[in-house]
Amino acid sequence: SDGAGVITPNADGIKNTPSFRAGSSAYTSVANSTMTTLAIDTESWDTDSFFDTSTYKFTPTIAGKYWFSATAYLNSGNNTDYFLIQLMKNTSMFAQSGIVSNDYNSPCTTGAIDLNGSSDYVSVRVYQQTGGTVDIEGQNFCGFKLIGA
pLDDT band, very low/low/confident/very high, at 130 (cuts 50, 70, 90): confident
Residue 12's SS3 state is helix
Residues in the chain: 149
The b/e string for 30-65 (b: 16+ C-beta within 10 A; e otherwise) is beeeeebbbbbbeeeebeeebbbeeebbbbbeeeee
- Whole-angstrom CA distances from 140 to 3, 6, 20, 32 are 42, 35, 11, 21
Alpha-carbon gap, residue 107 to 83, rounded angstroms: 7
Give 9's pLDDT tier (boundaries 50, 70, 90).
Answer: low
User: pLDDT for 48-98, tens place per residue?
Assistant: 999 999 999 999 999 999 999 999 887 666 667 788 999 999 999 999 998
